[in-house]
């Protein structure tokens, strides 16, 4: 189960990066990432912190 979460987090990060490289609307990226993140209910605390930092950087 943990591997599935890690794979989904990795996929999420790739989608964020690809979206930014494709110069998508930041608001659209934010909506996609928050929706996907809500699906990851059992993410470890350190992963949540890292993810939140990642998202915060792209909201700047």
Largest CA distance in the chain: 33
User: Could you give the percent of the chain with pLDDT greater than 70?
Assistant: 47
Q: What is the pLDDT of residues 19-29, one digit of tens each?
A: 666 666 667 76
Is residue 9 classed exposed, middle or buried when 0-12, 13-18 and 19+ CB atoms within 10 A define those classes?
buried
**Whether pLDDT at 6 is above 70:** yes
Q: CA separation (Å) from 20 to 8, 15, 57?
A: 18, 8, 12
Given pLDDT bands bounded at 50, 70 and 90, which one contains residue 9? confident
pTM, entire model: 0.33
Residue ranges of the domains in the chain?
2-59
């Amino acid at each position: 189960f943990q591997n599935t979460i890690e794979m989904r987090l990795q996929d999420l990060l790739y989608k964020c990066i690809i979206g930014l490289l494709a110069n998508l609307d930041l608001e659209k990226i934010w909506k996609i990432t928050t929706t996907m993140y809500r699906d990851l209910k059992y993410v470890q605390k350190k992963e949540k912190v890292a993810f939140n930092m990642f998202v915060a950087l792209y909201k700047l």
